[in-house]
Chains A and B, each alone.
Chain A
Amino acid sequence: MRRILFLLPVVLFAVLAGYFALALRPDRDPHTLPSAMIDKPAPAFTLAGLGGAQGLDSAALGGRVVLVNFFASWCVPCRIEHPLLMQLADATNTPLYGIAYKDKPADTARFLDELGDPYKRVGLDEAGRTGIDFGVYGVPETYVIDKTGRIRLRHVGPLTAEAVAKELKPLIEELNRS
């Protein structure tokens, strides 16, 4: 019994060290927050479109697997992920919808003219309220929404080829099968 007591500090140290090691893993980004919206139905919204084009509303979600990407012309990482979005729109047979978060319509239009428009439809969320309903805390964010209209995945920050290959594509395929 006495011996075990002497080992106690060592055990405590090991537990603490293990905990710190977990928290300091190089692939862990403490700024990435868990989404409260996972597996919940996507919020209801109705957003106007760009210059007379069809807007985006929550009725467009559901029925099939879709991607929703929050972006803004003022957002630098959005420019970084933009080429990937162009590829994604071509490569997967999944509709990609864009929501312009807190952006002036003229700026959004210029952004899409300049870089190309990967979106099937774009909705303008100038007040950022739809963003808040989704739990967006910084653009870009990308959501995978399943056939029943539930949010299944949130990717925070610019998409990377790795994230597309390892997270998005497998999930989209799985959701399409079910």
Chain B
Amino acid sequence: MTRALLFLLLLFAPVLAHAVEPGERLADPALEARARAISKELRCLVCQNESIDDSSAGLAHDLRVLLRERIAKGDTDTQAIQFIVARYGNFVLLKPPVEPATYALWFGPPAVLLLGGIGVVLYLRRRRPEAPAPLDPAERRRLDELLREGEG
């Protein structure tokens, strides 16, 4: 049992590992938690697809320390994020802000889904078989004739 537990623990150990080094952490757990949450949202500019929380690049380390300094000095989350965005632009945000330049990004996929949905609905509606028009008197006479021929 102990072995199995140890095995599981080791199995998940890499998932628990972070690039945040012990020396970088803030003494106050509440502030540290805020810093962690923010640093997960900031892109490491060296690796570009990692957050600065995950990255072991030198610049990511510097930004983590800088972020913690700002927070320890009393910055709100927004102020701390703005401080870094002012230097590196919106690119540093892993979640792009909703603004005119990103409308296509945010609303494009739902819009395409909506258009597709409308298309599907229209198509299915059109395919539904319509009740055939009733026969006019000429057609009915012709049908009766044919039926009589068949019997005879």
| Residues on the B chain within 8 Å of A36, using CB | 85-91
CA distance A37 to B48 in the complex (A): 19
- Residue from B58, B85, B87, B89 within 8 A of A34 (CB atoms): B89
Q: How large is the interface on B (under 10, 10 to 19, 20 to 34, 35 or more residues)?
A: 10 to 19
Asked if A134 contacts B87 (CB within 8 A), the reply is: yes
Residue A35, interface by CB 8 Å: yes
Least distance between B61 CB and chain A CB atoms (Å): 9
Name A40's closest neighbour in chain B (CB-CB).
B86
CA distance A127 to B45 in the complex (A): 17
Name B86's closest neighbour in chain A (CB-CB).
A36
CA distance A133 to B59 in the complex (A): 12
Name B62's closest neighbour in chain A (CB-CB).
A128
Name A138's closest neighbour in chain B (CB-CB).
B46
| Residues on the B chain within 8 Å of A138, using CB | 45-46, 59
Residue B94, interface by CB 8 Å: no
Name B61's closest neighbour in chain A (CB-CB).
A128
Asked if B62 contacts A132 (CB within 8 A), the reply is: yes
CA distance A137 to B48 in the complex (A): 11
Asked if B89 contacts A35 (CB within 8 A), the reply is: yes
Residue B66, interface by CB 8 Å: yes
Asked if B63 contacts A132 (CB within 8 A), the reply is: yes
| Residues on the A chain within 8 Å of B58, using CB | 102, 128
| Residues on the B chain within 8 Å of A1, using CB | none
- Residue from B66, B88, B90 within 8 A of A135 (CB atoms): B88
- Residue from B45, B59, B62 within 8 A of A33 (CB atoms): B45
**A130-147: which residues lie under 8 A (CB-CB) from chain B?**
132-135, 137-138
Name A33's closest neighbour in chain B (CB-CB).
B91
A34-B89, A36-B85, A36-B89 known; A137-B66 Cβ under 8 A: no
Measuring CB to CB, which residues of chain A are less than 8 angstroms from any residue of chain B?
31, 33-37, 102, 127-129, 132-135, 137-138
Q: List 19 A-B contacts (CB under 8 A).
A: A31-B48, A33-B45, A33-B88, A33-B89, A35-B89, A36-B86, A36-B89, A37-B87, A127-B62, A128-B58, A128-B59, A129-B66, A132-B59, A132-B66, A134-B87, A135-B87, A135-B88, A137-B45, A137-B59
8 other A-B residue contacts (CB within 8 Å) besides A33-B89, A36-B90, A138-B46: A33-B45, A33-B88, A34-B91, A36-B89, A37-B87, A102-B58, A132-B63, A137-B59
